[in-house]
């Protein structure tokens, strides 16, 4: 079996809140008890029996569990990582914002090929937004900004539904954050292709009539700035519960999709972008591609963890790969 089939990435479906408090649909649910409830839910995929059975069934022998800005930027990040390690026996890894931007760009570049020319990628996560721009496999510009959909929703759009003044304040905030990057991108020249990644953009594309994920990755999906403007107007008119009924919006993400839409609209406006194409590949694929590249260039080896499955004891152990 080839290496691509035997290496696996694991990213928790929901991360703990930045202050290590319980987190449900963007609402903080309390102190210590919330931490433990959140960790139990969040760390379930890494429990020894779960990890062993799943990895064994898929014949996985290398596991790279990673977290993004929700944990990376937390004030008590080390406490959370230690708590997960104590609960599951797995030490989670994290990437810098610049690494996230670079690896996501690498995945997008690999999907669209070199004929895509000068390429700009925008990725709006829960706690940060990554931008990368370039002509080759390595971007010339890769930055991470504190403009994640969940972050701005918590900081600017409470209570729900937000007022026009709150949305206006968020628009100004995004413009201030993006101004310097926009100047750099415009100085480099108009990108030949603008690509959007992340669930935020996938939801906005679905709201605008793009095909659902079941149609497969080879259908072209796009979203325009004008469509996002209309989606913002529609979402501002209803509460989060009604927003969850919109096409393509999952209930657990309804609380932050409006904030993500405002970030997307203002970013596209500041960069002079009318339309973006939604890529099926993003950060996870970028990490996998980087790993596959490291097989040919050992000095670029990723710090993967080796997963060993003991069939007799039906347990799995994770140890660091030898260097």
Higher pLDDT, 241 or 13: 241
Q: Based on the domain organization, do 11 and 107 belong to the same domain?
A: no
How many domains does the chain contain in total?
2
Q: Based on the domain organization, do 48 and 127 belong to the same domain?
A: no
Residue among 216, 191, 197 nearest 107 (CA): 197
| Cβ-contact 62, 305 below 8 angstroms | yes
Cα–Cα dist 215/234, whole Å: 26
User: At 221, is the pLDDT very low, low, confident or very high (cuts 50, 70, 90)?
Assistant: very high
Task: For 35-78, write each residue's pLDDT tens digit.
Answer: 455 555 555 555 554 555 566 677 777 777 888 888 888 888 88
Residues 6 or more apart whose CB falls under 8 angstroms from that of 61 comprise 6, 7, 55, 306, 307, 308, 309
**pTM of structure:** 0.79
Structural domain contains residue 167 = yes
Q: Based on the domain organization, do 179 and 45 belong to the same domain?
A: no
Q: Based on the domain organization, do 51 and 181 belong to the same domain?
A: no
- Residues forming beta bridges with residue 145, ordered by sequence position: 129
CATH of the domain at 156: 3.30.420.150
Note every long-range contact of 241-245, with CB atoms under 8 Å and residues 24 or more positions apart, other chains counting: none
What pLDDT does residue 147 have?
Answer: 96
Q: Based on the domain organization, do 52 and 106 belong to the same domain?
A: no
């Amino acid at each position: 079996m080839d290496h691509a089939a035997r290496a696996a990435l694991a990213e928790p479906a929901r991360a703990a809140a930045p202050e290590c408090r319980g987190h449900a649909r963007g609402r903080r649910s309390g102190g210590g008890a919330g931490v433990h409830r959140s960790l139990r839910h969040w760390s379930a995929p890494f429990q020894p029996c779960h990890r062993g059975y799943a990895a064994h069934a898929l014949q996985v022998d290398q596991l790279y569990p990673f977290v993004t800005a929700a944990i990376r930027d937390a004030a008590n990040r080390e406490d959370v990582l230690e708590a997960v390690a104590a609960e599951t026996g797995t030490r989670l890894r994290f990437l810098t914002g610049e690494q996230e931007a670079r690896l996501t760009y690498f995945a997008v570049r690999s999907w669209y090929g070199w004929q895509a020319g000068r390429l700009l990628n925008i990725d709006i996560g829960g706690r940060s937004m990554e931008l990368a721009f370039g002509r080759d496999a390595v971007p010339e510009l890769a930055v991470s900004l504190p403009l994640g959909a969940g972050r701005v929703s918590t900081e600017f759009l409470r209570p729900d539904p937000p007022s026009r003044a709150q949305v206006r304040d968020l628009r100004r905030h995004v413009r201030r954050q993006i101004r310097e990057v926009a100047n750099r991108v415009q100085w480099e020249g108009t990108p030949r292709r603008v690509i959007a990644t992340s669930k935020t953009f996938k939801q906005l594309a679905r709201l605008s009539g793009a095909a659902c994920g079941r149609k497969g990755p080879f259908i072209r999906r796009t979203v325009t700035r004008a469509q996002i403007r209309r989606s913002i107007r529609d979402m501002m008119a209803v509460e989060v519960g009604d927003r969850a009924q919109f096409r393509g919006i999952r209930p657990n993400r309804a609380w932050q999709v409006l904030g993500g839409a405002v970030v997307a609209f203002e970013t596209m406006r500041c960069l002079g972008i009318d339309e973006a194409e939604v890529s099926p590949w993003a950060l996870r694929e970028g990490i996998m591609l980087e790993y596959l590249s490291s097989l040919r260039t050992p000095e670029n080896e990723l710090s993967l963890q080796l997963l060993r499955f003991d069939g007799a004891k039906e347990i799995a152990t994770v140890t660091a790969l030898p260097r």
